[in-house]
């Protein structure tokens, strides 16, 4: 992106397009020319903003509760709104970003053979008692009884449910394996002290995958395959991560790794060796261990936010629920299992925590709710004659750059100055902001183009804008 902007700066002149723009059929900001899609107008968006710090504090209670950047910013610009402790309304911008993230996750999971399912949030206590996790999970489980006095929990995870599902298929063959079954659903956990907004809540979205293999070797290959898909996911999002050895906790199994985003506000303490590739969650190491167990070099401590977790389960669950398949000899064998989680809402919040400034949200490029924000002149200003230019540019982008259909937002709040709207756009983190300022009235016309993620600004004509935006990747 930087190279393209630099190339545009180096051009001695840009091809004039003012005649094309002035030749467009006049139309208001609110209506498109016949046959074109309806314009997306900022004034129509449901987005309650709280741009003053005291308003945010009144929503979340004590000032000490706002202890991380992502929580404060997401509340300020109207990405989330508190419903109850640990629970938030996800507002339109956040839902768009989350849907994009889920599409990227689907691409990566299906690229390795994942099949998407959807299991009930209500999980029977009988399943959890079979694995002893009804008691082991303690107060973290949100429990309830129905009118028939039958006990359930709102699932924080689905090992029991998916293993019982696979076990119900009595005629499985080794030829059908592996199964990589995954879902993206709401999860629930009765956190004793919810905090950090979407980073630690009682209700959240998670991608959880459960794999069933015919042998230990095959299960370990699947484990490496899924970890590779996680690496690909975070690389595509442009998020720095570290894979660390981790404790198996209440889920169990014999091997576990976490995918962590290094950031100071992270709750996990990580030990990383600068001299080799060793890294681990500090809870897996002895209190007195100061050197790397691999190369004996000194360990460096840092903090991180856990955004993914992988487990090799072996036959822990398949043996309890009798999830078997017919092996190559026709004999029944227990399936070897793994489970793999990604915190969907947590990835969104953690990305904002890692990438944003103290005052302005910055998104991974693929996840920005809208890629482009157009800012026409203020009503009654000298530049008001360029208003139609921005309307026609909106329609032209939709036609000339098909992947950006539905990705271009027009800030029609023309009672506000360009400066005030640019400030709002900067806070919301649109990757590209295009302004019709003084130079839009020149012959040829030039538009002010801001690349928010790099902080660069360049003047381009309509053709230049289209060429620049044609490089944008969307999902």
Strand runs labelled E in 117-195: 122-124, 142-145, 151-154, 179-188
Q: Does any domain span residue 155?
A: yes
Count the Cβ atoms, other than its own, within 10 Å of residue 439.
16
The Cα 383–Cα 445 span in angstroms is: 12
For residue 462, give Cα distances in angstroms to 13, 107, 390, 404, 473. 13, 33, 10, 15, 20
The model's pTM is 0.91
Are both 327 and 421 inside the same structural domain? no
The Cα 251–Cα 337 span in angstroms is: 12
Last residue of a domain, one of 319, 354, 389: 354
Q: Which domain, by its residues, includes 166?
A: 94-354
Are both 320 and 453 inside the same structural domain? no
**What is the structure's pLDDT at 250?**
84
Query: Facing residues of 258 across strands?
Result: 244, 309
Structure tokens at 470: 């044609």
H-assigned helices in 38-91: 53-60, 69-76
The Cα 164–Cα 162 span in angstroms is: 5
Q: Does any domain span residue 88?
A: no
Give the tens place of pLDDT for each residue, 383-432.
998 999 998 999 999 999 999 999 999 999 999 999 999 999 999 999 99
Are both 196 and 232 inside the same structural domain? yes
Are both 227 and 290 inside the same structural domain? yes
Are both 224 and 316 inside the same structural domain? yes
- Smallest CA-to-CA distance from 293 within 280, 303, 302 is with 280
Are both 230 and 303 inside the same structural domain? yes
The residues, any chain, with a CB within 8 Å of residue 475's CB and separated by 6 or more, are 100, 103, 104, 107, 366
Query: Facing residues of 186 across strands?
Result: 205
Contact 412, 48 (CB under 8 A): no
Collapsing DSSP states into helix, strand and coil, what is residue 139?
helix
Are both 445 and 332 inside the same structural domain? no
Give the pLDDT means over successive 10-residue stretches in the chain (475 positions): 47 32 40 60 86 60 70 95 95 98 98 98 97 94 97 97 96 96 97 93 97 98 98 98 93 92 94 92 84 91 96 97 97 98 98 96 97 97 91 93 96 95 96 96 94 94 96 94
**What is the structure's pLDDT at 271?**
94
Q: What is the CATH number of the domain that holds 228?
A: 3.30.930.10
Q: Does any domain span residue 48?
A: no
**What is the structure's pLDDT at 62?**
54
Q: What is the CATH number of the domain that holds 382?
A: 3.40.50.800
The structural domain count of the chain equals 2
- Label the pairing between strands 40-41 and 408-410: parallel
Contact 285, 275 (CB under 8 A): no
Last residue of a domain, one of 354, 386, 419: 354
Q: Does any domain span residue 34?
A: no
Are both 171 and 208 inside the same structural domain? yes
The Cα 454–Cα 432 span in angstroms is: 10
**What is the structure's pLDDT at 38?**
84
Are both 242 and 332 inside the same structural domain? yes
Last residue of a domain, one of 354, 379, 406: 354
The Cα 230–Cα 211 span in angstroms is: 15
Q: Does any domain span residue 40?
A: no
**What is the structure's pLDDT at 47?**
81
Are both 326 and 452 inside the same structural domain? no
Are both 287 and 385 inside the same structural domain? no
**Is the bond preceding 320 in cis, omega lying within 30 degrees of 0?**
no
Q: Does any domain span residue 274?
A: yes
Are both 301 and 410 inside the same structural domain? no
Q: Does any domain span residue 78?
A: no
Give the tens place of pLDDT for each residue, 221-252.
999 999 999 999 999 999 999 999 999 888 98
Q: Does any domain span residue 102?
A: yes
């Amino acid at each position: 992106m930087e190279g393209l902007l630099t190339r545009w700066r180096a051009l001695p002149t840009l091809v004039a397009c003012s005649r094309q723009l002035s030749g467009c059929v006049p139309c208001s900001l609110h209506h498109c020319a016949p046959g074109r899609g309806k314009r997306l107008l900022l004034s129509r968006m449901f987005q309650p903003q709280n741009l003053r710090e005291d308003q945010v504090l009144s929503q979340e209670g004590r000032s000490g509760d706002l202890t991380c950047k992502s929580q404060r910013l997401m509340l300020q610009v109207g990405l989330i709104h508190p419903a109850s402790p640990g629970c938030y309304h996800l507002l339109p911008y956040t839902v768009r970003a989350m849907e994009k993230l889920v599409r990227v996750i689907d691409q990566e999971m299906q690229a390795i053979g994942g099949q998407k399912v959807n299991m009930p949030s209500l999980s029977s206590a009988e399943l959890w008692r079979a694995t002893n996790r009804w008691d082991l999970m303690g107060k973290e489980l949100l429990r309830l009884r129905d009118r028939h006095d039958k006990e359930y929990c709102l699932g924080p995870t689905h090992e029991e449910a998916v293993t019982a599902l696979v076990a119900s298929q009595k005629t499985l063959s080794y030829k059908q394996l592996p199964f990589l079954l995954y879902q993206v659903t709401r999860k629930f956990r009765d956190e004793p002290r919810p905090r950090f907004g979407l980073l630690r809540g009682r209700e959240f979205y998670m991608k959880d995958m459960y794999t069933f293999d015919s042998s230990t070797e095959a299960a370990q290959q699947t484990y490496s395959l899924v970890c590779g898909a996680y690496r690909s996911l975070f690389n595509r999002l442009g998020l720095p991560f570290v894979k660390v050895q981790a404790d198996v906790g209440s889920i169990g199994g014999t091997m576990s790794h976490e995918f962590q985003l290094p950031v100071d506000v992270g709750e996990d303490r990580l030990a990383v060796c600068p001299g080799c590739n060793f890294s681990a969650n500090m809870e897996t190491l002895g209190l007195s261990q100061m050197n790397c167990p691999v190369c004996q070099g000194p360990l460096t401590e840092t903090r991180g936010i856990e955004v993914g977790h992988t487990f090799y389960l072996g036959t822990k669950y398949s043996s309890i629920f009798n999830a078997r398949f017919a092996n190559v000899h026709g004999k029944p064998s227990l399936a070897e299992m793994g489970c793999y989680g990604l915190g969907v809402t947590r990835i969104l919040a953690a990305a904002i925590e890692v990438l944003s400034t103290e005052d302005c949200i910055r998104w991974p490029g693929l996840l920005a709710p809208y890629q482009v924000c157009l800012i026409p002149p203020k009503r009654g200003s000298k530049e008001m004659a360029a208003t139609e230019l921005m309307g026609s540019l909106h329609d032209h982008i939709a036609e000339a750059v098909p992947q950006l259909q539905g990705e271009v937002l027009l800030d029609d709040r023309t009672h506000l100055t360009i400066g005030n709207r640019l400030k709002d756009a900067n806070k919301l983190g649109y990757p590209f902001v295009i302004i019709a300022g003084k130079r839009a009235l020149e012959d040829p016309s030039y538009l002010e183009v801001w690349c928010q993620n790099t902080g660069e600004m360049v003047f381009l004509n309509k053709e230049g804008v289209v060429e620049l935006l044609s490089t944008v990747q969307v999902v």
